[in-house]
Structure 1
């Protein structure tokens, strides 16, 4: 539910109160809906009771008490609390429902095996590779990726070669095991990999850092939520759409849900096309969507944990699980602390 939609919802609640004779006011054209201020709670707050108090000839708190049940009974609203002199604080019943809820539930149920399928069920994939480090690393990743799709890889050296990615121009070993594997697996097979110290730099320009950092942030958010006394709960909401929580987080949540939903297809294509680079690049997509959403997963200041926070946390936990599983398929460590 966007702020504009919520404004219409508030006005509809006012109209019902007027129609039932509980308030005698001219129904305004719009209601101001904003994130809660200091001392507030929930996903949004409105000062509509203060706005209507003078024309209604009633104290703002009394107007708020009249409007609260009308607003609480509205579809998409989980709860309404009154704070301060009469602010209505709205908890949205808008979570990871529909396809989003199904995806998150599946990820959290299957954990690192999410995305495994039967695309190559019973098939034996024979890879003939040259004695070259990049070919060896690609074949090693394909052993796990193909196994996740029900197949089996047999690797041998000889001719004719049927897997020959463009080799690295220099030895990747000085980068260390994880960064070296990423440098060799992230580019497409026909692109020459860059063996540079950029893969070791801890900044957002480094895709490997973003993926591992996003995973560590997901784990940290789950720990921090536990310290605050709440945990992920995908069933906190009943809304049928794919979004999560308040409008500022909506697009990020939708992007993350879409990336998680696409992950099984990416694994299937990576196995059938012998292209682990597809997995590496998709992990960057998941990581970027997660990092855009992370700041909305926990309450801020005096804000209390809401159903929206629990649903966002479930989405964050699912994304961290996918990142860990994908990195594992590539043979790269996914540290909980970075």
Structure 2
């Protein structure tokens, strides 16, 4: 269940409670669902009960309980809890959708997969410190917010103003060099960590996480080209079980988590979350590719398994390309 679907699910629960006479309120146009704060419960939280409490003429926890009952048992939700003054905390059921359905969705939506509306109707401004890393993070946050339906802009904090985005500054020389490696260097580390020099991300070696992400993306395109030459195309289907940790299900879980990662990265102004997710996805895909043959060999005819594995590879490539683009980094088809 993506953030957009989750928002619609909560809204439908409110509407059904109103239709049943359990709540006497005007149904809101939309419900904002955001990733749970650190230390919170579940995957997402919404304050819709607090927003409706006054018009309902009831305490927010009572309103939340009405909505909770409507949400309980919903496919894709493992549990719904009420915390604090009336927040609804939502824990997703995993796997959130079947592999076939998820992969088909990714291939259908392409680069828009994972985008949501958590920031729809909101306009924000990112006041950043006068420093290269802060500006790089700020511009990445703007792209992430746009992917969540919002509008944002970057400006340098005025003298004496507290910057909203102020990560640990990059060491001297970090921001000088290959633009792709520099940008990854500035975005990959957590805000409280000092970024490594860009030279750590320039070599075309397995030790370089940026190389692994871009290499994995290029390999998915190579497989698509080779499959086309062999006369077959991707078709979502059943995937192999785990073998030495390189299972298709591992990739499906990472693909399913991508929308949550984008929403969290935008909400917490943390593009490093997206960068690390891309590394995890690329590493899992490279393990998978090393264990399973995506293309037939010799005189072997393409099978349903080959088509399903190719569909999985294309879905991985789609997400890697979309994530790199949001970070402002080129996703090469050849490497």
SS at match of 2:124: strand
Residue 271 of structure 1 pairs with residue 266 of structure 2? yes
For structure 1, the residue ranges without an aligned partner over 5 or more in a row are 1-95, 238-242
- TM-score, with normalisation over the residues of structure 1? 0.66
Equivalent residues in 2 for 1:205-224 (5 A)? 205-224=207-226
Summarize deviations over 1:136-172 as a string: whole Å, max 9, x none: 1001111110010011113222212111010111133
Which structure has the larger Rg? 1
SS at match of 2:98: helix
Q: 1:220: how far off? A: 0.2
Number of aligned residue pairs:
236
SS at match of 1:125: strand
Equivalent residues in 2 for 1:204-283 (5 A)? 204-234=206-236, 237=237, 244-245=239-240, 248=243, 251-283=246-278
- Structure-2 separation of matches of 1:218 and 1:134: 31
Structure 1 stretch displaced more, 225-234 or 183-192: 225-234
Which of 270, 277, 286 is equivalent to 2:281?
A: 286
State the structure with bigger RCO (CA 8 A, min sep 6), 1 or 2.
1
For structure 2, the residue ranges without an aligned partner over 5 or more in a row are 1-94
The aligned counterpart of 2:309 is 312
The aligned counterpart of 1:68 is none
- TM-score, with normalisation over the residues of structure 2? 0.67
The aligned counterpart of 2:325 is 328
Q: 1:300: how far off? A: 2.5
- Structure-2 separation of matches of 1:287 and 1:258: 13
Summarize deviations over 1:183-222 as a string: whole Å, max 9, x none: 0000001101011422111111100000000000000001
Summarize deviations over 1:210-249 as a string: whole Å, max 9, x none: 0000000000001011111111011xx4xxxxx5047649
CA RMSD of superposed structures (Å): 2.0
SS at match of 1:180: helix
Structure 1 stretch displaced more, 191-200 or 272-281: 191-200
